[in-house]
Structure 1
């Protein structure tokens, strides 16, 4: 693989993959917390709507959703997204539905006595969520969120089918130009591994920090 191909195709593709991962993760986290907390709401209607959203997007292919947003949405509403943002929206909504179940499970894992203490202190539902439930639930969310982030990173390869110049699309172009399939795809495997390794280490550091704030060890026990 020549330096020119690396500089003009692969390096920009790496940067686009990183952007896709970060933007999609930001949307997914927003959706996950919003829908996940709604799944624990007192209102049955709110819980139903949140559950309906979760089932719809967990049961829908991210790739098909990406195509639907990019090709069908303009015909329905008269406006279109560029491929990059269509991909971010599809990935964020899809993986956010999986993240919502992580948030819901972590919130439900908080001891009932903690909730009762918030009621005894006359906290509002939002105060109980912000001051009691979330601080204890977030450390429990970190390991599954780390796994979900890596799955999201790998899912960004789907955007190459929309012509977005991520690292997978760059590899395809380099293969056409050089006919060196084994070399370029071996390099791309290493690139994905390195990005995933960095993300995993970052999430572990964040997990240690959140647990330390609660006086817990990395394995979840008290110090």
Structure 2
């Protein structure tokens, strides 16, 4: 029978490991996404080709197979064993970073041409235009799809349990074997993943509102609330 001691001794450490894998993988994925995404908008065809090749290769690979390759095949090639958590972070970060690069590329492509031309007229270099004009305007459009990718990444962390990383799923399997109860264990895992995803979604909503406010875009919900609470006026201006 599953007890509170099992939750404290297995699930709580597993939750912490899941959080670490999510944070580290998301950080790596963000670096990969912005690097590959911006390179895919380069004027040099060779740069676009190499960045596009990375995107196509990692988008077409299974994250689970990549995880196995990093954990079991790469050590045979390099004669150097990766720590299982690092292998998991690499597999997830490189894979989801490829998906994120398409978000970055699409958002940058949606920036009006006139804005880029204004940067050129001001004598900005390519890096300056990206930093001062294109990325600040594209960032609000990136946040919603990044939110979806972050939730998918959180759920994808369950894959690391197959190489011995003691995340929530790994802990749940240990508890299931010890208590011989599958339904309570997997129900609890579902609730835990949902709760963590809900918290991430709320946090990303805040990021989205801040990003839109930074470029002068009003949040629709905030706008509706402000309109509903605004004092009514007559056509002549009298209240």
Question: TM-score band (shorter)?
Answer: over 0.9
Higher radius of gyration, 1 or 2: 2
Matched, 1:73 2:84: no
1:64 is matched with 65
Measure how far apart 1:218 and its partner are.
Answer: 2.2
Unaligned runs of 5+ in 2: 227-239
Measure how far apart 1:215 and its partner are.
Answer: 1.0
Aligned pairs for 1:161-200 within 5 A? 161-200=162-201
Unaligned runs of 5+ in 1: none
Secondary structure of residue in 1 paired with 2:115: helix
CA distance in 2, matches of 1:72, 1:185: 31
Measure how far apart 1:42 and its partner are.
Answer: 1.1
2:230 is matched with none
1:17 is matched with 18
Runs of 4+ with >4 A deviation? none
CA distance in 2, matches of 1:75, 1:187: 38
1:210 is matched with 211
CA distance in 1, matches of 2:113, 2:219: 23
1:153 is matched with 154
With the length of structure 2 as denominator, give the TM-score of the two structures.
0.91
CA distance in 2, matches of 1:151, 1:219: 26
1:92-151 Cα deviation digits (max 9, x unpaired): 000000000000000000000000100111111111110000000011000000000000
Matched, 1:139 2:140: yes
CA distance in 2, matches of 1:182, 1:125: 56
CA distance in 1, matches of 2:125, 2:29: 27
Secondary structure of residue in 2 paired with 1:40: coil
2:37 is matched with 36
Measure how far apart 1:179 and its partner are.
Answer: 1.1
CA distance in 2, matches of 1:78, 1:111: 50
Measure how far apart 1:72 and its partner are.
Answer: 0.9
Q: How many residues align?
A: 222
CA RMSD in angstroms comes to 1.4
